[in-house]
Structure 1
Amino acid sequence: MRKGMIFIILVSIVSMSFFGIRFMENKETIDMKEELAAEQFIKKHLYEENGLIKTDLKGQSNVYLAETTGLWMEYLVKKDDYLEFKKQAKVLKLFKEDSQLISWKIDGNRKAPANALIDDLRIIQALEEASDRWGIPKYRKMARQMGKDIVRYNMENDYFIDHADIKTKHKADFITLSYLNPKAIHFFLEEELIDESQYLLNREVLVNAPVSKNGFFPITYYPSRNEYEFEREVNLINQYYIGYYRALWGGDVSSLIRFTKESLEKYGGVLYGRFSSETKEPAVEYEGASVYALAILMCLQAGEDDLARQLFYKMKELQVLDASAEYYGGYINLDSLETHTFDNLLPLIAEREAIDEGVFY
């Protein structure tokens, strides 16, 4: 009798799990948020049948970045696209070899020999959020497995470091501040992969980083020397990543917001991609969609909704919005067909976030 009852209970659990997952798949498909134009461009022109996404349409069309997969996964969680996320979770295997570290690039059939912490942490964040959003424990388990190897190979004396050689496990001796993803690092604390003192130590590297006389953040920190390093030519992608992550951790980003407002006013609403750290003058004549996207994410986190809205409309000016055009939805130069997945995925995430936050209607 007892054995029979146990058998019935086990069958019930298995049945509930199976039908629950089937129901959830159908539910998430129905309840997905709308497909945005940039997503249509990515799916039509950059998306491969196996789930990998091309880096561009020209010289790097057979190059696939872990950065791209992580950004795509981050967007899919925000969109509630469970079925596509499920596919991307399997794509991760293509970037792995003999550990849970993610090779930062696949070039043809060759994997790069090192990881990049920023990619691994972004993927861990996406897996954790997917697990919480859809109630799927295996994604949290995947994130935890990755986290264990990050702690083993991408930490040195309690500090996260940039990268490690996947085969030899040789480590870098510095951390790029734009790699310190607060949501992912908090997951490490929740899962007891790091302790509170390690968590606070790495938070302080970002939140307490000094600001230059012109309001820019340093790009690199060397733990062994307790030394920060600034860029001579400031890349705004790095600055806004640091600003966004710093704001997520409750840090002060007023200097970068002030610089943003001043630059938009001085240069006719344009944010150029690079600036001189000494003169605060543009070092290049181009603007990038990813710069606007990261600035939007920082502003949303810092409560600067009006500035986020201004940046949003400026970003959208760089997008092909003619629905009848071949490259509709893309952030692409139509004359040269120059584009990059980064410059499509980050705006896609920023747009989804702006819509969800009610900044853009």
Structure 2
Amino acid sequence: MNKNVRWLLLIVSVVLISISCTGKEVALQKEPLSPTEQFVIQNLLNDEGLISTDLTSQKDLFLSESVGLWLAYLLEKGDRARFDDQVNVMKSYFLKSDFIVWRIEGTKKATVNALIDDLRIIRVLLEAGEKWHESTYVQLGKKIGENLTIHGMNEGLFVDYVDVSSHAQANTLTMSYLMPSAFYAMEKHGLLSRQQVRDQLAILKNAPLTEEGFYPKYYDIPSKSYRFDEELHMIDQLYVAYHMVSIDEDTEPFKRWLLKLLKRDGKLFGRYNGQTNQPTVSYESPAVYAMAARYMLVLEEQQNAQMFIEKMLSLKDPTSGYVEKNTRSTHSFDNLLPLLAEKEVENAINNE
């Protein structure tokens, strides 16, 4: 066998091996991967690029929340190849009539969107387009954003969800869904006017606080009033505080309340009674600690941010991801938000 033939056979072999690899296997060959990222790719990301909600009962349930968080992480990491893959997955499976459906179960798609996920995806697409000088990302973000402003606003305010076909709307605006960074990006690209941005932010700025320092659950558009829940979801509270800081609003009362709970119990629980401040669940959530770390990061309190990262990491299975030790159950949200928090804190430290 002459030298040219040997080289030809070698090239053909490499090509055949590459073709035989699944998308997951190719992804795993790209280094470096953090342990959490490796867990997501190995265990939650299927061969079609869809992210399973968990490993057991909801393996065939896929959420736009997961798409947005994964894209946000990949943008933060600077992984354009995987980012592009996930954009294609989103377009193929979640995009319907320029809406992003909020969930897919098996082959059945939801009939409504979810504002928080849409805003996150729009922001990430617009920022990625600018970062990588990729006009297709910007065009897609603008297309989804234009549709959302046409069909997803009631009395000048965004609403929690819209029916994809009938365009029937919710009449509420959940406080944790208000994402100033998305509004600013949309204004920059001509999707929202300055006044429209001010109107959305006014809902945040005018939100009443309880004596303890926590925020309302949602704004009721018809009655123009804020509503509090009896049971507080800590993740919602942290999202609101995080967004408040981004528009230079004072969150000191909330921070005192948060750290008081941590000092009292030595941990944060997932939910609390709004009247008694007592936990209503027994579990700690990796996502709660992740969001607490991100909140401290935007406050420029890196020591507290690192403290919450350490709390978060204490819940991680050393051999896998954020998996419940007894039941082995997990949730995509409890892996993707920690993954994003890990990268943001790491980048903040490296940029000091």
Question: TM-score, normalising length from structure 2?
Answer: 0.89
Deviations 1:82-105 (A, max 9, x none): 1111111111121122x1110000
Q: Which of 62, 66, 74 pairs up with 1:64?
A: 62
Mapping 1:1-361, distance limit 5 Å:
34-93=32-91, 94-97=93-96, 99-268=97-266, 270-321=267-318, 325=319, 328=320, 330-358=321-349
Superposed CA offset, 1:161-209 (max 9, x none): 1100001100111100111111111122112222111110110101221
SS at match of 2:100: coil
Q: TM-score, with normalisation over the residues of structure 1?
A: 0.86
The alignment partner of 1:278 has SS state of coil
Residue by residue over 1:221-253, the C-alpha shift from the partner in whole angstroms, topping out at 9 and shown as x without a partner, is 022322000110101011011111111122221
Look up the equivalent residue of 2:94 and give its one-letter code: F
Contact kept in structure 2, 1:305 and 1:359, CA below 8 Å: no
Contact 1:214 1:278 in 2 (8 A): no
Q: How many angstroms apart in 1 are the aligned matches of 2:137 and 2:124?
A: 9
Q: Distance in 2 between matches of 1:251 and 1:112?
A: 36
Q: Residues 121-158 of structure 1, C-alpha deviation per residue, up to 9 Å, x if partnerless?
A: 11111111211111111101110000001001111121
Contact 1:207–1:252 at 8 Å: present in 2 too? Answer: no
- Letter in structure 2 aligned against 1:289: P
Distance in 2, Cα, partners of 1:275 & 1:34: 39
Report % sequence identity.
Answer: 35
Report the number of matched residues: 323
Query: CA-atom RMSD, angstroms?
Result: 1.7
Q: Displaced runs of 4+ in structure 1, greater than 3 A?
A: none
> What CA distance in whole angstroms lies between the structure 2 residues aligned with 1:203 and 1:309?
29
Which stretch has the larger CA shift, 145-154 or 128-137? 128-137
Whether contact under 8 Å (1:234, 1:276) holds in the other structure is: yes
What runs of 5+ residues in structure 2 fail to find an aligned partner? 1-26
Measured in 2, the distance between the counterparts of 1:238 and 1:110 equals: 28
Given that residues 272 and 282 in structure 1 are in contact (C-alpha distance below 8 angstroms), is that contact kept between their aligned partners in structure 2? yes
